[in-house]
Amino acid sequence: ELKVEQNPLFLSMQEGKNYTIYCNYSTTSDRLYWYRQDPGKSLESLFVLLSNGAVKQEGRLMASLDTKARLSTLHITAAVHDLSATYFCAVDLTSGSRLTFGEGTQLTVNP
Amino acid sequence: ETGVTQSPTHLIKTRGQQVTLRCSSQSGHNTVSWYQQALGQGPQFIFQYYREEENGRGNFPPRFSGLQFPNYSSELNVNALELDDSALYLCARRMTGESYEQYFGPGTRLTVT
């Protein structure tokens, strides 16, 4: 059974600081997704990583994938309050339509 | 804008009742998946439909069932509602072609009392 673990589960950081969220998974996969969720809202797609060594960046967020280590990271650079949200990683073992999600990392960026 | 819509937005039902949730999207989305997200947890895969047939199911009982229609719309039906069915229900569409991108609708918040 595929297991996806994120850490930390809760992260409180100051504006301007850098931090990394980690996503470990138990079964080999070449497809790793990152989503953002604001309170009471749906999931917003951030990144889809499709191969070992893949790195994608959008604004202050950068995601990477190491399939050999079964690890993905979401790095936050110079955090701003607008980044406060819950971030989920998800792994797909099939054809892109059945995702197994981690528990989520609740990020709070304080002024 | 993901092009995926869901209805209703919110719903309150009583234990033992039945509910139907709906999902629709623009053409080209021929794979639809449904997820249940309990408060404070990550979404859990319920099942997936491809070309109007169920094509994978998660660890959910048979009282969770679905349909997909030729116009790409989809339904999630839940019979004999239980209190633990209270959750946000998300519909997700996968783009056709080589992209593995999967887009989620706004969700339906179901409360069972």
- Put simply, the answer to whether A96 touches B102 (Cβ < 8 Å) is yes
Give every strand in the sheet of A71-76, ordered side by side.
Answer: A4-7, A19-25, A71-76, A61-66, A55-58
| pLDDT tens digits along B1-37 | 678 999 999 999 999 999 999 999 876 667 899 999 9
Percent of chain B with pLDDT over 90: 68
- Name every chain A residue with its beta carbon within 8 A of the beta carbon of B99: 48
pLDDT of residue B96: 61
Neighbours of B4 (CB within 10 A): 22
**Residues of the domain holding A20:** 4-110
pLDDT of residue A21: 98
pLDDT of residue A87: 98
Band (pLDDT 50/70/90 cuts) for residue B57 is very high
Band (pLDDT 50/70/90 cuts) for residue A111 is confident
| pLDDT tens digits along A40-78 | 899 999 999 988 889 999 999 999 999 999 999 999 999
Evaluated on CA atoms B46, A91, A61, A58, the torsion sign reads negative
CA distance A11 to chain B (A): 15
A6 close to A104: Cβ distance less than 8 angstroms: yes
SS3 (DSSP) at A81: helix
Band (pLDDT 50/70/90 cuts) for residue A93 is confident
pLDDT of residue B90: 97
- The chain-wide mean pLDDT, for chain A, equals 93
* Total number of domains constituting chain A: 1
Residue B98 has pLDDT above 60, yes or no: no
**Chain B residues whose C-beta sits inside 8 Å of any chain A C-beta:** 2, 31, 33, 35, 41-45, 48, 50, 55-56, 58, 88, 90, 92, 94, 99-107
- Put simply, the answer to whether B94 touches A41 (Cβ < 8 Å) is no
pLDDT of residue A96: 57
Q: The domain spanning residue A39 has which CATH number?
A: 2.60.40.10
Q: Is A96 on the interface with B (CB under 8 A)?
A: yes
pLDDT of residue B102: 84
